[in-house]
Amino acid sequence: MIFLPFLAPGHMLPMVDMARLFSSHGVTVTIITTTFNAAQFLKAIDKDINSGHKIAIHTVELPSEETTLPQGTENFTTISSLAMAGNLFRAMTKLQPQIEQFIKERSPHCIVSDMYFPWTVDLALSLGIPRLVFHGCSYFALCCMDTIKRYAPHTKVTGEAQSFLIPGLPDEIEIMASQLPDYVRTPGGYTLLLDHIREADKRSFGVLVNSFYELETAYADHYTNVTGNKAWHIGPLHQSIKRDTADKAERGNEVHVVEHGCLTWLNCKKPNSVLYVSFGSLTHFTSAQLLEIAFGLEASGYPFIWVVRKEETMPLEGDEMWLPEGFEERMMENEMGLIIRGWAPQMLILEHPSIGGFVTHCGWNSTLESVTAGVPMITWPLAAEQFYNEKLISKVLKIGAEVGVEEWHPLIQAHGYLVTRKKIEKAVTQLMGVNEEAKERRKRTEELGEMAKRAVEEGGSSHVNITSLLNKLRLMQCHVQPVG
């Protein structure tokens, strides 16, 4: 099987996990990516090879010179503007001839492609092999996107601040028009790309979903019944790969994760007492928003670990300070707060018994990691499909408290909507409190965490699903090796 991940961490990390999962089932796997991206997970792959798994990486060269990209710009984590994002997209399209030639020479039995490579469906059909597609999001989000595309309910409201019901879903879900992506509200070139992706999905063998049946039962069924697309849930993928501490570190391109000071700091805290705050690897906040976060966290009175992108800690000339005066010194002196600039060992933090809540941008990988760890969430969606995930977390699963973001914004740009310190303080108090609502929320999350772990074990829903998929591929005479 050939795996072709997209060049962004939210897509790449789970797809590499997926490739590793298939190889652990006896499948011969090759991952195609660029040299820079291959280095991010090379150690994990080497460890799999040493364990006897048949897995390899094939690297291709990104033609950055032809698209005015700086040398080494091979992942969306290195992008700082929408113009650069467009250039990286164009550079990726130039990879198609290299990738097609390699796949034809390799003659695989199946292609697993990220959604952003819809052309792989034609390649697969020309080779007479199945193509599986990966979107990197939840069943719930897929259902929301499908029904909004079908019925366009947002066009029937009078203003962007008005809420409307997303029709046809198993639950009554309301969302504001302003919380929809801009390419939904104002169709353009990206909308056409999504239409192309949707058509490629229909012509593919099926969709692979990083989820588990117990989490989204009604929406797993709804998606296949309404769209007609076959789908297999095989997650949580981060849980499927039985990682030790070093393996978890390799995902973050760090080695000495055990020595990370935040874990020592957490060891001194009471169970469920610390709030973890992180907005993923692509989020950009203004200094004004960072300042509000700092004031809100301090006012809440709960200890916290706050992960901030290094770029955000360097305000532009004339910009305001991003931390209140003396804030970091007060937090350190009172042992109430710890700021991490750059990368943090997120899975190890979430799994620590001292963590009692997670302020998250509602990226699907972070959401699944929080669910698996049994940690309830404060939802702070920003872009992509994150506002849909917020509704799943807060309204369907009831394991989160909304901070109150009302406006979707592109990931690459600094988010302009300002969440005030009072809203932040209120959400933290609501999530971390000891009232009955907070206790029930925590109980539900912990129960889902146990279900997540069982789903990937032998006989669990996701384990059964991947076994069923491999059996189907064998019946198609793809000669996939028997499940190990």
pLDDT digits (tens, 9 = 90+) for 446-469: 999 999 999 999 999 999 999 999
* Residue % of the chain over a pLDDT of 90: 72
Of the listed ranges 219-228, 286-295, 310-319, 400-409, the least confidently predicted one is 310-319
Q: For residue 462, how many other CB atoms are within 10 A of its CB?
A: 27
Identity of residue 76: F
* Two tokens, residue 49: 């090879």
What average pLDDT does this structure show over 397-401?
97
483 pLDDT band, cuts 50/70/90, is: very low
What average pLDDT does this structure show over 416-439?
93
Q: Give the domains, in start order, of the chain with CATH numbers.
A: 2-241+456-475 (3.40.50.2000), 245-452 (3.40.50.2000)
Pick 244 or 170 by higher pLDDT. Answer: 170
Residues sharing a CB contact under 8 Å with residue 145, sequence separation 6 or more, in sequence order: 385, 388
pLDDT at 476 over 70: yes
> Residue with structure tokens 């072709």?
4
Identity of residue 342: G
Residue 406: its pLDDT value, please? 94
Q: Which residues of 390-426 are buried (b: 16+ CB within 10 A; e: fewer)?
A: bbbbbebbebbbbbebebbbbbbeebeeebebebbbb
Residue 152, Cβ density class (10 Å: 0-12 exposed, 13-18 middle, ≥19 buried):
exposed
Q: How far is the C-alpha of 436 from the C-alpha of 442, rounded, in Å?
A: 10
* Two tokens, residue 374: 């049994």
Residue 77: its pLDDT value, please? 78
- Cβ contact 364:10 at 8 Å: yes
For residue 11, indicate whether it is catalytic. yes
Catalytic residue among 11, 109, 284, 409: 11
Identity of residue 102: F
Residue 112: its pLDDT value, please? 98
- Cβ contact 441:376 at 8 Å: yes
65 pLDDT band, cuts 50/70/90, is: low
Express each pLDDT in 43-59 by its tens digit: 999 999 999 999 999 99
For residue 182, indicate whether it is catalytic. no
pTM over 0.85? The answer is yes
Q: Report cis status (omega within 30 of 0) of the bond before 108.
A: no
Q: How far is the C-alpha of 189 from the C-alpha of 405, rounded, in Å?
A: 26
Per residue, what are the HEC states of 21-74?
HHHHCCCCEEEEEEHHHHHHHHHHHHHHHHCCCCEEEEEECCCHHHHCCCCCCC
Q: How far is the C-alpha of 151 from the C-alpha of 43, rounded, in Å?
A: 46
* Two tokens, residue 294: 């700092």
Express each pLDDT in 85-143 by its tens digit: 888 888 888 889 999 999 999 999 999 999 999 999 999 999 999 999 999 999 999 99
What average pLDDT does this structure show over 280-307?
92
Return the axis-axis angle of helices 287-300 and 421-432, rounded to nearest 10°: 40
* Two tokens, residue 277: 């705050």
Residue 90: its pLDDT value, please? 81
> What value, to the nearest 5°, has the Cα angle with vertex 92 and ends 89 and 94?
120
Catalytic residue among 17, 48, 114, 201: 114
Residue 260: its pLDDT value, please? 67
Express each pLDDT in 187-208 by its tens digit: 998 899 999 999 999 999 999 9
Residue 482: its pLDDT value, please? 42
> Residue with structure tokens 């366009």?
152
pLDDT at 334 over 50: yes
Q: How far is the C-alpha of 21 from the C-alpha of 484, rounded, in Å?
A: 11
Which is nearest to 160 in space by CA: 143, 145, 182?
182
Q: What is the mean pLDDT of the chain?
A: 89
